[in-house]
Structure formats: structure tokens, C-alpha cells
Amino acid sequence: MLLDILGIVIGYASVMLLLSLLVTTLVQSTQQVFQLRYRNLLFGLEQLLDGFGIPVILKSGNEENPPESRGLASDLIDRVGLEQPKTRLRKTFGSIVGGKRTWILPKELKQGLQDLIPETLVNDREVLLSSIEKRFESMEGDLSKRFTGCMRLLTIIFGLLVAFMFQVSTPALLKDLRTSAELREATGQYAKQVVEAAAEAHVLTRKYEKISDRALDELAQRHPELAKKLEEASGIGNDKSAILHELKLVLSDLPTDQQNTLVKEYSGILDDLLLSALKETSGLAARASQYLSVFEIDFWKQGTAFYVGAGALTNWIGVLITTIALALGAPFWFNILQTVIGLRDALKPTPRAGGPRVLHD
């Protein structure tokens, strides 16, 4: 009985993981195409500049062609921050996103504003710039939350789209798994393949923080004379900007040029590792239909009849439940599937040589 229940959970989690990989690929592609990280930073800078009245200040010195918040923010992003290295991430998506910066450090923002705001236009310019710098530091967490919220909304939207197009009703799927021992057996065998493929594709690698340790190790290998100092960096941060800022603080006693070079190199390593993870995840998502066929789940298999024929209301409700499950994300279902498979293997009867079958302790 317990093994049957575990078999149902394994089958359901396998389907959710495969569909979640499709959702992840769609979300990441949309984020790149529409430059959502860049737009999020642009929004934050616009709010910051308006809050301190920078456009009004600059307007007083250029009444014929007064600047706007959006133009100023875009100009700042283009002129400040560390120069982005020519990484594979930028080469791959450069034609799509135009190589726009998605992060800047507070100190670079201050430097950029010094170039934009002449001392003659404002009293105590240094005090104003320091206040802007501190305010921007406090905004980083809010901007990160805003971007995360946007990604969650996209996950829900694409989750609904995938569940709708593949016509996956959670109640119907659970019923099939409950009533068919053959289906549970088949999905149990495929589940291990799904977990292994997902592990190889770094399904859990969806944030820079997840790969920062590997990036720091690679940077230390390239610069063994700094290995001990690099151990002081934790690689922890809500976004790439915070992770890079931490490294720069760790390297603060080095010459500025060397700091910038190392941080640029670290940024490139992070981008390369993230791109590799995204490609591997996308490759697994492309093979998802092969695994889903075991569950007799195909793209638009029943056509419009699924949503307008007999049982249409039940199907709609089932698809919405599936959407909620997909919103939990691929990492969640990967962990669930891995855990339940381990539990099943521990409880599975195994033959003992020359004696009756026994259960593992």
C-alpha cells in the first residue's frame, strides 16, 4: 500500500518536473528577449532620479533641451559600472538584448552622476551624491523583490499555458496513476532517468548565488596567489550586483585597476556558468515530450474537445490545479522526486540470498 502511494507521488512529481522545465525555458527566454533585468534597473534609477529632483536640476542648466528621467537613467546605465566582458552569455544573447547592463554598483552610480551634474548647478553636490548613493544601496533589495515578483508572475502565466496546451488535469492524472499498476511501474522506471538528467542539467541552478561558489573556485584557480583572499568571499547575494559588490569589498585593499579586472573576470565566469546551466536545462526541456509520452501526455492531444466536450468543467479545474503545481517551480519538484525515489528504494523489498525477501531497515 505504501509503495503504491509512493508510486503515485513519483509519477505525479515526474510529470510536474518535466512540465516545469518547459515553463522555466519559456520564462528565461522571455526574460532575455524583453530585457527584464535591464528594465527593472531602469525603473529603479528613474524613481531614484525623480525622488531627488535630478531632472529638474539639470533642466535649470539646459532649458532648451531639458532631460527626462528615462533618458537620464539609460545614459547612466550606459556610462557607469564595470565594463562588461565579452562572455558567451553576451555573445549568445547580444543580438537580442543589445548587451544592456543589468546591474551597477552604488559607487559607479555616484561617479556617473558627478559627470552629469556640474557643481555650478547645485550647492553641496557631494552631500547630494552621497545621499543618492545611500538611497540606491537601500533600493537594491526592493528592486530584487520586484524582479522576483515579475518572474513569479511569468511562471504562473507560462504554467497555465503549458498545462493548457498539454491538457494536463491533476485529478485525472492522479486517478490514472492510482488505478494503473502498469503506469506506476513504467513511470517509476523513467523517474530515475528524469532525476539523473535533471541533475546533469543543473535544474537547481537558476540564480547566480547557486553558482557563485564554483565561480569563486575557478577564479582562485586562475589566480592562485589570491586564493586565500578569495576564500573570504561568500558568494551570497540577492542578485549579481550584490555578489560582485561583495567581491569588490573583499578586494578593497588591492589597486583599483586590479579590483576592476578581477570583478570583471568573476562576472564573466558567473555568466558562462549560468549560460551553461540554462542550455542544459533547455536541452532537457526539449526532450520532455519523449518522457511525457510514457504518461500518454502529448501536445494538444484531444484538441478543443477537452475544453468544450463532456467533463469540460472538470478538465478546466484540473488544468488550473496543475498550473498552481507548476508555479512551485522545477527545483521544488526535483527535490520532491529525488526524496521520494530515495524513500521508495529504501522500502522496496529486496531478495536475500538463500532466504525470504526482507525490507531494508
**In total, how many domains does the chain have?**
2
Say whether pLDDT at 96 is over 80. Answer: no
Per-residue pLDDT, 95: 34
Neighbours of 307 (CB within 10 A): 15
pTM comes to: 0.76
Domain that holds residue 276: 208-286
Per-residue pLDDT, 270: 85
Whether 242 and 187 share a structural domain: no
Whether 86 and 234 share a structural domain: no
Q: Are 307 and 316 in contact (CB under 8 A)?
A: yes
Give residue-wise pLDDT tens across range 174-205: 999 999 998 888 888 888 888 877 776 554 44
Query: Does 166 reside within a domain?
Result: yes
Query: Does 354 reside within a domain?
Result: no
Whether 122 and 262 share a structural domain: no
Q: Which of 270, 286, 302 is the last residue of a domain?
A: 286
Whether 281 and 291 share a structural domain: no
Whether 53 and 198 share a structural domain: yes
Query: What pLDDT band is residue 5 in, cutting at 50, 70 and 90?
Result: very high
Per-residue pLDDT, 200: 62
Whether 58 and 124 share a structural domain: yes
Query: Does 186 reside within a domain?
Result: yes
Query: Does 179 reside within a domain?
Result: yes
| Residues whose CB is less than 8 angstroms from the CB of residue 218 and which lie 6 or more positions away in sequence, other chains included | 269
Whether 127 and 168 share a structural domain: yes
SS3 content of the chain, % helix, strand, coil (to 5): 75, 0, 25
Give residue-wise pLDDT tens across range 11-60: 999 999 989 988 988 888 888 788 888 899 889 999 998 898 888 777 76
Whether 265 and 154 share a structural domain: no
Whether 44 and 179 share a structural domain: yes
Whether 103 and 244 share a structural domain: no
Determine the average pLDDT of the residues in 105-132: 84
Mean residue pLDDT across the chain: 81
Ordered alpha helix ranges (H), 122-255: 125-166, 170-179, 181-200, 208-222, 227-230, 240-250
Query: What pLDDT band is residue 83 in, cutting at 50, 70 and 90?
Result: very low
Q: How far apart are CA 233 and CA 220, in angstroms?
A: 11
Whether 24 and 48 share a structural domain: yes
